[in-house]
Amino acid sequence: MGPVAFVLIAGVAVGSALGLVFKRNPIHGALFLVVNLGSVAALYLTLGAQFLAAAQVIVYAGAIMVLFVFAIMVLIPGKEETGPDPRRAYRVLALPVGAVLLALLVAVVAAGARGRAPAATAAPDGVEAIARLLFTDYLFPFELTSVLLLAAMVGVILLSRRREG
């Protein structure tokens, strides 16, 4: 059951990521990204990270993607990528660059998997472990995120305000 579920979800994740990159219409790309984020949330569930799965769906697939779709609707950018590409030679290079990067990363992962595996301890599953950690060891960074979010909010309001005169 486990490996089969992983392969199915991973297929959905990779397919939707490819759809995001290679679909011309940005709104299709945004919907593909929602599918991708949802499948990654499912993978979090298989790793026993229930809280992150819920946060992924609420924060990423919910809030952030609504922001993206909203921006796409406001900017109406459907026409930008239809013209001839002025820098086609550079962009064709992207595929070999990506392939080499992928080969390197997979080589590292494979080397790590071949090496001596540490004895797998029982992972602390569920919400309790991360909650305990966030409010003890990571309390200061946790409080800092509130400052960061406030700063981002103020910055966005300043940036999106129209100049008065």
Partner 1 sequence: MAPESWYLALSAVLFCIGVVGVIVRRNPLVIFMSIELMLNAANLAFVAFGHRLGTADGQAVVFFVMAVAAAEVAVGLAIIVAIFRLRRRLSVDDLSLMRW
Residues 131-150 that bind partner 1 (CB under 8 A): 132-134, 137-138, 141-142, 145, 148-149
Interaction of residue 164 with partner 1, rule CB under 8 A: no
Interaction of residue 84 with partner 1, rule CB under 8 A: no
Site for partner 1 in 20-39 (CB under 8 A): 20-21, 26, 29-30, 33, 36-37
Interaction of residue 81 with partner 1, rule CB under 8 A: yes
The least distance separating partner 1 from the CB of residue 164, rounded to whole angstroms, comes to 15
Q: Which of 113, 116, 140, 143 binds partner 1 (CB under 8 A)?
A: 113
> Contact at 8 Å (CB) between 53 and 42?
yes
Q: Which is nearer to partner 1, 2 or 165 (CB)?
A: 2
CA distance 6 to 44: 11
Q: Which is nearer to partner 1, 36 or 165 (CB)?
A: 36
3-state secondary structure of 47: coil
The least distance separating partner 1 from the CB of residue 65, rounded to whole angstroms, comes to 9
CA distance 88 to 67: 30
Q: What are the CA-CA distances from residue 96 to residues 86, 87, 92, 99, 101 (Å)? A: 20, 16, 8, 5, 8
Site for partner 1 in 33-72 (CB under 8 A): 33, 36-37, 40, 43-44, 46-49, 51-52, 55-56, 59-60, 63-64, 67-68, 71-72
Interaction of residue 2 with partner 1, rule CB under 8 A: yes
CA distance 18 to 12: 10
Write phi, then psi, for 40 (nearest 5 degrees).
-65, -35
> Contact at 8 Å (CB) between 129 and 49?
no
